[in-house]
Amino acid sequence: MALELTTHDQSMLDGGQGPSAAAAMKILVAFSNAVGANSLLDISGAHIDGCLYHGKAGLDFVERLVEGGGRVQVPTTLNVGSFDLIHPGMVKMQVAEEVPARRLMKAHLELGCQATFTCAPYQTRFRPQFGEQIAWGESNAIVFANSVIGARTNRYGDFIDLCCAMTGRAPAWGLHLSENRRGRILFELDEAAHEPNDSLFVGVGLIVGQANGDRVPVIAGLPQPRDEDQLKALGAASATTGAVALFHAVGITPEAATLDQAFQGRAPEETIRIKRADIDQALARLSAVPDGAPLAAISLGTPHFSHEEWMRLLPMLREVAPGRGIPIYVNTGRATLTRLRDEGALDGMEAFGLIPVADTCTYVTSILENLDGVVMTNSGKWAHYAPGNIGVTVAFAEMKDCIRSAAVGHVVRGAA
């Protein structure tokens, strides 16, 4: 069936709103035909994952849109770039790489995008509402928006997310449609797996991502989370080890008040039991580093630290008072960082080794001063990607263990 375009869509395609809008609509039409969408739908916002510089092609694409007078048609946030524009002195990058990396971030702003530069746009004033149609890139943001908020987006990659933003339209396909949001595979947690710490949510996410395939998973028996950051960690882990864009947690997430609602009245295609041993095994695969290994650094905030996570971290730092010279890098959004500074929450915290990082993340940008030794993290995503991306040895643990380890200079887990 041919893709149906509105009069406005056709006008845009024909150049009525300028060459950049026409180019974006041409790409969007081709993409929609490829995925079998019958029509386009309006979106209320977009999040662009193309600010991270991977080469000249990405920069050329965005600059061509700028040259054609292009502007985004909906509120559009930006994912992390390759550079911390707030703390430029921390980034170790050759000028030949820095110039295009900065230019790519600036070019998106020239299209009318918001200077958020965060992988957690749901922590900003641009957070969507339940049921809103959006077009988001960045794996953790996508799964959070769909699952925790109940907004609707597919997994949009570089260029397609920007084409949606430039046109204000997205293909009526996939997770935009109610029938495609029903659960298809059930993960049941044993009661013995229920210690509701952060690691549980990371471990469940790792298992779901690895076993799920392209189906929508439903998780039953998950304990009530302390806050949405634990769900953020679960979603990020599942999108890291698999292709999860939406999960339902029975009794927790907004489209899964009951098991029947999560499956839209149908039976699961498969049921997988998750035991405590499965979670322990999944977490162990993140790191083979033994306790006692010397530390080089701590890296937190992947996805970006929320204000609530900062409020948990700062008292820990004051209580433990790390003093071994172990730097504690915390990746966070610039909006969150501004709020903390306005509140005076970070005053004097550099004495504890705290180093805020904004606009980027330490596993994609060369920021860590010392790569000789173990870097400890509480992020399943960071632990998964950092060894391959920046060549570090990683130890995974709870946030409290990370801070206690910084205080003694070596890996400590299970600290009281």
Is residue 190 in some structural domain? yes
**Are 144 and 205 part of one and the same domain?**
no
Q: What is the pLDDT of residue 403?
A: 96
**Are 235 and 248 part of one and the same domain?**
yes
Q: What is the pLDDT of residue 191?
A: 79
Is residue 290 in some structural domain? no
Residues 288 and 349: beta-carbon distance below 8 Å = no
**Which domain range does residue 239 map to?**
182-284
Residue 140 tokens read as 């953790």
Is residue 72 in some structural domain? yes
pTM beyond cutoff 0.95: yes
DSSP-assigned beta bridge partners for residue 270: 185
**Are 161 and 120 part of one and the same domain?**
yes
- Grouping H, G, I as helix, E, B as strand and the rest as coil, residue 142 is helix
**Distance between CA atoms of residues 77 and 137, nearest Å:** 10
Is residue 95 in some structural domain? yes
Residues contacting 112, CB < 8 A, separation 6+: 71, 72, 76
Within a 10 A sphere around the Cβ of 66, how many other Cβ atoms? 16
Q: What is the pLDDT of residue 372?
A: 84
- Grouping H, G, I as helix, E, B as strand and the rest as coil, residue 45 is strand
**Are 172 and 255 part of one and the same domain?**
no
**Are 91 and 168 part of one and the same domain?**
yes
* Number of domain units in the chain: 3
Is residue 414 in some structural domain? no
Give percent helix, percent strand, percent coil of the chain, each to the nearest 5: 45, 15, 40
Cis previous bond, 75, omega within 30: no
Q: What is the pLDDT of residue 6?
A: 98
**Distance between CA atoms of residues 202 and 238, nearest Å:** 8
Is residue 415 in some structural domain? no
Is residue 55 in some structural domain? yes
**Are 21 and 112 part of one and the same domain?**
yes
**Distance between CA atoms of residues 205 and 13, nearest Å:** 41
Query: 152: which DSSP letter?
Result: B
Laid out side by side, the sheet with 217-220 consists of: 248-249, 217-220, 185-189, 270-274
Element (H, E) at 78: strand 76-78
**Are 218 and 271 part of one and the same domain?**
yes
- Please list the rounded mean pLDDT of every run of 10 residues in the chain (416 residues): 93 98 98 97 98 94 97 98 92 90 97 98 98 98 98 96 98 98 97 81 97 96 96 98 97 98 98 95 92 96 98 94 84 98 96 95 92 93 95 96 94 80
Q: Residue 85: what residue type?
A: L
